[in-house]
Copies of this chain bind each other. A is one copy, B any other.
Amino acid sequence: ATGADNDLHINQAVVFIEDAIQYRSINHRVDSKSLWLYRWYYSRICQWILGLTITVILALAFVETPSSLTVTSDVRYRHPPWDPPCGLTESIELLCLLVFVFDVSVKSYLIGWEEFCKTKWLMAYILTLVVSLTDWIVSLSFLCTETVRIRRILRPFFLLQNSSMMKKTLKSINSTLPEMASVVLLLAVHLSLFTMFAMLLFARTKDGQQDKEWVGYFRNLPDSLTSLLVLLTTANNPDVMIPAYSKNRAYSIFFILFTVLGNLFLMNLLTAIIYNQFRGYLLKSVQSSLFRRRVGIRAAFEVLCPLEETPANAQELCVSVGDLFQVLQKVEMDPRCKQAIIRSLKTSSCDRLSAAQFQKLFEELDKDAIKQHPPSPEYQSHFMQKLQFVFSHSYFGCLGNVVALANIISICVVLVMDADKQPSERDDFFLGAINCFFILYYLLETLLKILAMGFKRYWSYPSNRFDGLLTGILLILEISTFAVYGFPHPGWRPELMGLLSLWDMVRLVNMLIVFRFLRIIPNMKLMALVVTTLLDLVKNLRAFAGILVVVFYAFAITGIMLFKGAVVPMGNIRIFVPGHPLHQEAVLISKKKKCDFLAFLNHFQTIFIYHLCYLLSFNLICRWAKIYFIAWWLISSVIWVNLFVALLLENFIHKWDRHCHRESLSDIEYQRTVELMFRDVLEEPTEEELMERLHQHPHLHLCR
């Protein structure tokens, strides 16, 4: 029984350490079978299947019936999108939903009933699944002819609940809401007071010529509100004030006051509030991650402690190094960390580890990964050594940059000269010839660098990888161009022969050359800092991007459902409000169609509120459209952009401080995560806190 017990303890320790590595909570069942299930559930393949399922269910929107995913977005020219038969997408959906049902039941079983009652996310998950399945049954029983499909709006929830970072971020956003609400309220008061002012100021006059402002923008309350709301987005900025301004310059004071107060003060105050609130919460969430990691490590220590120890000796609990080796063998972790831990375990002379030593051993996990570049090859020949010195010198890199710049400039000159030429007059000889020489130089440069640094060392620098890959692609393109079209000669502009015309080939080569020019960035110090900050930001931004995807998705689906009938091709106009002469308008809107999935990603909203509501200002659809677009503007443009700015400020300021402190160590590349960013300000949890948390564990019952 002791052997089995020992095995159980080792398995428990393995799982706890894996929890610590992944910042997971340790509050799950710890009996043998549950541990096996737990490790299986969190194994790479299972999580990969879950991720795939989420991707598939989200991607379904692109092929489902009211989708508009066609090559062109112009409703006049585009072909009708593929209409899958009823039951095809639905059966894929059912499969996905069943995977989720399985997921939620495993998760619920693993954490046990007591924890389940505390986890609102899991309950919401179950609720979402129940609603989705019900909606699915309703949908199939109507043979896919029903229009309102709630389950589509609920889909992004599956993405949300699967990422702990996204849940944390959402919590942070949630706790900022009261402050944001106060500013939004202030914005609303500002807007409504100025609207009343505007209606009193730009009232209808007896002289029909004089009230252009009234006719255009302040005809009634909804119009006035819309005009000023759009002014807040600066989309109609000078237009709205031009009629009044040309009547009397003093009217501009009203608009300037409104813009300065609303746009400059209140909007930026929102940034300040979000930055201020968010700063603290991000730190807090990172702190709680650290706490989870320490708890996991401590729990592993506790279960490894042999129970037979006498109470007298209990003050100095110890873990045998042999047990730890067994655990480490089983744990799935970054090989670099594992190596480091085993190495330091072997070098330490003692046979048993105390809690502090155990904890210290695993601090390797928190450390930056310092990347060591492989050494250059050592050549015997004196000539080779000289070559090596020359071609690994930084001046050689600079020469490469200068050549790349020259190439860019030559392309630019050709573009400017060819700008107004007819395609038939164009001669690709000059560009083809110089590009050929430049690409030869790039190839030579790459080969010489590899010779000087050795392939391993060359490849270990990201900038070289970028460079080498692009040079390779350029070479292949150039060779295939020559193979198909022959060598460049004056009047070198043959017709289409292969997959791409010569002109397209040359364009592609030029684009790649322009892209390759980005290699200069690491050579400029401040620019490198800026770019690394941006790259960091992208890493830390995944949670935000996820939430943005969730919001986009929900809005897109809602938009498709709301405005499905509103936009129709020109040949066959069906108007919402009968008898309204909306031909022209329908075409305009169809061109800038909102309900379209990809179009969302740009800042379309301000222009759209304006156009759609201006054009359709007496239609029923406009009421809904207005509310929809205002909500969209508030969430995407105001709140999300401000969150982004807050994160960027946070990131940049930390980075900048670090840059100033560690200027000397600039050669070492650090891994950058949100955890590491805050490492200097994080507090280590105390022994008491850790033990208290361990004693609260619902399944693990420590005897001391």
Contact = CB atoms under 8 A, between A and B. Distances in A.
B256 A514 contact: no
A412 B221 contact: yes
A252 B592 CA distance: 13
A518 interface: yes
Nearest to A413: B221
Interface stretch (A295-303, A324-332, A420-428): A420-428
A42 interface: no
Interface in A513-564: 514-515, 517-518, 524, 526-527, 530-531, 533-534, 537
Contact of A182 (B71, B530, B606): B530
A215 to B, nearest CB: 12
A420 B220 contact: yes
| Number of this chain's copies in the complex | 2
A537 B268 CA distance: 12
A516 to B, nearest CB: 11
Contact of A415 (B193, B196, B411, B653): B196
A71 B249 contact: yes
Contacts of A70: 249
A128 interface: no
A350 interface: no
Interface in A66-104: 69-74, 77
Interface in A583-624: 591-592, 598-599, 601-604, 606-608
A530 B507 CA distance: 54
A416 interface: yes
A174 interface: no
Contacts of A220: 416, 419-420
A636 to B, nearest CB: 12
Contacts of A239: 607
A200 interface: yes
Interface string A219-238: 11100000000000010011
Contacts of A237: 602-604, 606-607
B238 A592 contact: yes
Nearest to A76: B246
Contact of A644 (B264, B275, B604): B264
A241 B200 contact: no
A259 interface: yes
A349 to B, nearest CB: 48
A265 B537 contact: yes
Given A259-B603, A514-B200, A591-B246, A272 B415 contact: no
Contacts of A69: 249
A242 B649 CA distance: 33
A537 B264 CA distance: 12
Interface residues of A, number: 100
A99 to B, nearest CB: 31
A234 B637 CA distance: 13
Question: Which of A241, A248, A420, A526: most chain B CB closer than 10 A?
Answer: A526
Interface in A557-581: none
Interface stretch (A201-209, A471-479, A481-489): A201-209
A645 interface: yes
B268 A656 contact: no
B183 A238 contact: no
Nearest to A506: B200
A368 interface: no
Contacts of A268: 644-645, 648
Interface in A239-296: 239, 241-242, 245-250, 252, 255-256, 259, 263-265, 268-269, 271-273, 275-276
Interface string A617-646: 000000000000000000000000100110
Nearest to A74: B246
A524 B186 CA distance: 10
A511 B200 contact: yes
A652 interface: yes
A351 interface: no
A515 B606 CA distance: 29
B249 A73 contact: yes
A678 interface: no
A241 B268 CA distance: 29
A424 B656 CA distance: 67
A649 B649 CA distance: 11
Interface string A645-675: 1001101110010000000000000000000
A518 to B, nearest CB: 7
A363 interface: no
B645 A271 contact: yes
Contacts of A599: 245, 252
A648 B269 contact: yes
Contacts of A502: none
A197 interface: yes
A71 B248 CA distance: 5
A199 interface: yes
A645 to B, nearest CB: 5
9 contacts: A71-B249, A73-B245, A74-B246, A201-B507, A237-B602, A237-B604, A238-B602, A259-B602, A265-B648
Q: Which 3 A-B pairs have the closest CB atoms?
A: A182-B526, A74-B246, A220-B419
